[in-house]
Amino acid sequence: MKTNQFGKKGWTSDRIGNLKGKTYVITGTTSGTGFEAAKILLSKGGKVVMLNRNPRKSEQTITALKQELGNKIEVSSIKMDLAEQSSVKKAAENVLKTVSRIDALICNAAIAQVPKQKITVDGWESQMGTNHFGNFTLQALLFPLIEKSQGRIVVVGSMGYNLGIKTIQFDDMNWDKNYSPNGIYSQSKLSQIMCVYELQERLEAVGKSDVQAYACHPGASRTSLIKTNGSLMTRFVWQLMKLSPFVQSAEKGAYPQLMCATESNIDQGGFYGPTGKNYWTGPVGNHKLEPHAKDKVVAKRLWELSEKETGVKWNF
């Protein structure tokens, strides 16, 4: 095992300095790792713009954050449902109108283990449509401002990327023939991660080193992800697991995305998360990514397909 560049304890939020003047756009902040990440960034003086699908929960989140951190924190929210391209486009437009800079866009929101195949309004399987296509469009539309701010794109993947087939099922992207809650979740997360490294290649090809893109994952954290999406059995097993030592706090689960959003001198080629057993818990740092997640031929094809499907071209 390689040594952690941040020492035995790995990366912790103590390493974040004063963030005054910096702006972070985060998806999915009403609970779990997204909430913890927002709280820590705000506590360090950063400005946070939250993108959530439920405005009422967003308001409650802002109230909770102000109660804990005081009324002076700079936090706002914009409604966005990642599962609907029109909602993503509208939210991106609002961000560009109201925000003058983006130091990091943190793509944290996701859905998981949807028990039965659901198709989004745009015609995609729901996990693929939300986790991959929704994020692809959001990143592309906010890219010009991120570039202007010399900012970062942080994609929160999952170790689930390695639990399904080791490539993209291009001949049946909606998994009509072999739908499986875990299989397509894995596929959506693999797609997200692949596009981070493909984005790095494309930025390098046009000589743009001002924008950095990172892939990370939270390990096994106590969040509501499975509780809100999984089947009854999956949820039951997960609730039991959450009581075990194999699962860490949501705050620790937020560390990888916070590190990728704020830490200087980290390798974009890395994959960041807990480095303990199975990469579920343990000190946060860079760890092994299976080679199929960096398959350049597949990644290029996926990128081109994503531009075609969403109708959104990246403006390099």
Q: How far is CA 80 from the centre of its chain?
A: 15
Contacts of 228 (CB under 8 A, 6+ apart): 111
Q: CB of 164 within 8 A of CB of 265?
A: no
Q: What pLDDT is attached to residue 136?
A: 98
Measure the CA–CA gap between 217 and 220, rounded to whole angstroms: 9
How deeply is 118 buried, as exposed, middle or buried, from its count of CB atoms within 10 A (0-12, 13-18, 19+)? Answer: middle
For 25-81, write each residue's pLDDT tens digit.
999 999 889 999 999 999 999 999 999 999 999 999 999 999 999 999 999 999 999
Return mean pLDDT, the chain: 91
Measure the CA–CA gap between 268 and 10, rounded to whole angstroms: 17
User: Of 223-232, 237-246, 277-286, where does the model show the most confidence?
Assistant: 277-286
Q: CB of 94 within 8 A of CB of 78?
A: yes
For the segment 179-183, the average pLDDT, to the nearest whole number, is 93
Going through 11-52 in order, the beta strands assigned E by DSSP cover 23-27, 47-52
For 144-174, write each residue's pLDDT tens digit.
999 999 999 999 999 989 999 999 999 999 9
Q: What pLDDT is attached to residue 303?
A: 98
Amino acid at 167: T
Contacts of 242 (CB under 8 A, 6+ apart): 222
Radius of gyration of the chain (CA): 18
For the segment 266-281, the average pLDDT, to the nearest whole number, is 90
Length of the chain: 316
For 107-137, write each residue's pLDDT tens digit.
999 998 899 999 999 999 999 999 999 999 9
How would residue 246 be classed by pLDDT, with cut points 50, 70 and 90?
Answer: low
Largest CA distance in the chain: 53
H/E element holding 257?
A: helix 250-262
Q: What pLDDT is attached to residue 204?
A: 96
CA-based torsion, 218, 154, 179, 114: positive or negative: positive
For the segment 278-286, the average pLDDT, to the nearest whole number, is 87
End-to-end CA distance of the chain: 37
Q: Which pTM does this prediction carry?
A: 0.92
How would residue 226 be classed by pLDDT, with cut points 50, 70 and 90?
Answer: very low
For every residue of 177-214, DSSP letters joined together read TT--HHHHHHHHHHHHHHHHHHHHHHHHHTT--SSEEE
Q: What pLDDT is attached to residue 247?
A: 64
